[in-house]
Amino acid sequence: MEKEPTIIPDELLKTEMDFNSSAPTAIQGYKRRILTGMRPSGDLHLGHYAGALRNWLEMQERFDCTFLIADLHAFADNNDKPEYVRACVGQVALDWLSAGLDPEETHFTVQTGVPELENLTVLFETLVPLSVLQRNPTLKNELQNMRETQKTVSFHNYPVSEAADILGPLGDLVPAGDDQRPMIELTRNVARKVNDQFLADRQFKLPIPQIYTGSFGRIRGTDGNAKMGKSLGNVVNLNSSSRELKKRVNAIASPVKRLEEPGVVEGHLVLEYLDAFHRNPDEVAQFKEDYRKGGLGEGHLKASLYKELDDLLEPMREKRLQFARDPDFVRDVLRDGTNHTRQRVKMTLDQIRDAMGFNF
């Protein structure tokens, strides 16, 4: 049996929104607006695929999707490496295209290509108490691992900028990891505040966006660390060659035991990966049963995982080569998507500036 695609819960498909249905975007046949983003910080890996791209691929067919490459957020702690940040934007675009995101369906948006987002951020800053940022658990965590020179004002402020990213294009559904929950909570509070304080007597309202964490969570790194991350050196990149992939799969932490000894399934990393990536869940169930009894070796599990992942990555490798040969096309995809989003954000910004009385 083929693995079912992730099923998007019905309640997310409903077209009603939390905001006034006469808002400019709420036209007949309204599709929910997805807005989500990634900070460009190098090649994308399986963690991005399982936690984000796989959901996005499904969403792009049903929703109006805007996917943001958050280069300003990357710049906020990498301002000493502007060429690197710029190159990463291109890498992310290539990875997205190779994974199957379709620029005809979705708007690929470069954050700094929409300077109106920065305007909106400044307006939102006037509404958010500093203590809210100081208490943000995700931010607190990230700051712990940073050098002093990286802890810029802009970095501390990225949750507010994220609220602008979401509300500027009127996103109402945000697929994102659980770590982004505090950001979405902040976004909802900003939207409510703007609606109540400035837009109460206007037709135009901001959506109150929902987070959607999806049915696939985070996958662990190849070393067993709770997070797969480039700086942790425990990733499997989406652009790995077959050879690199084999090496990475063989390097996945697994228990040392004699073949015939019964094994422990719980917490077994290779089995976790098989759960996340094997197309046939029945086969994985069988693996688990056999592994528990003893007689099924790590080599067998890894060979199966390698095969599944190689089949997943092979079409991406081909597409990547094809797109890499056509940088003009990739640039146009980013320009077109960014311009489209820019029009939307301009409209939102105009409305909010006007409502705040900044219309001289």
Binding site for ligand TRP (CB under 6 A): 35-39, 68, 70, 73, 162, 165-166, 174, 176, 180
Check: CB of residue 345 under 8 Å from CB of residue 116: yes
**Least spacing, CB of residue 94 vs ligand TRP, in Å:** 18
**Least spacing, CB of residue 111 vs ligand TRP, in Å:** 7
Select 76 or 309, whichever has its Cβ closest to ligand TRP.
76
Give, in order, the Cα–Cα distances in Å from 206 to each of 25, 294, 295, 357, 358: 10, 58, 59, 17, 18
Cα-flanking dihedrals φ and ψ of residue 348, to 5°? -60, -45
User: Which residue, judged by CB position, is nearest to ligand TRP in the bound state?
Assistant: 37
Check: CB of residue 77 under 8 Å from CB of residue 44: no
**Least spacing, CB of residue 36 vs ligand TRP, in Å:** 4
**Least spacing, CB of residue 105 vs ligand TRP, in Å:** 18
Half-sphere exposure of 10 (CA within 13 A, CB side): 0
Q: Taking CA 207 as the corner, what is the angle to CA 184 and CA 152, rounded to the nearest 5 degrees?
A: 40
Check: CB of residue 55 under 8 Å from CB of residue 65: no
Cα gap 48→41, rounded to integer Å:
12
**Least spacing, CB of residue 253 vs ligand TRP, in Å:** 26
Select 187 or 234, whichever has its Cβ closest to ligand TRP.
187
**Least spacing, CB of residue 72 vs ligand TRP, in Å:** 9
Select 151 or 292, whichever has its Cβ closest to ligand TRP.
151
Select 188 or 302, whichever has its Cβ closest to ligand TRP.
188
Select 73 or 344, whichever has its Cβ closest to ligand TRP.
73
Give, in order, the Cα–Cα distances in Å from 4 to each of 1, 7, 60, 269, 277: 9, 8, 17, 22, 12
Select 296 or 334, whichever has its Cβ closest to ligand TRP.
334
3-state secondary structure of 173: strand
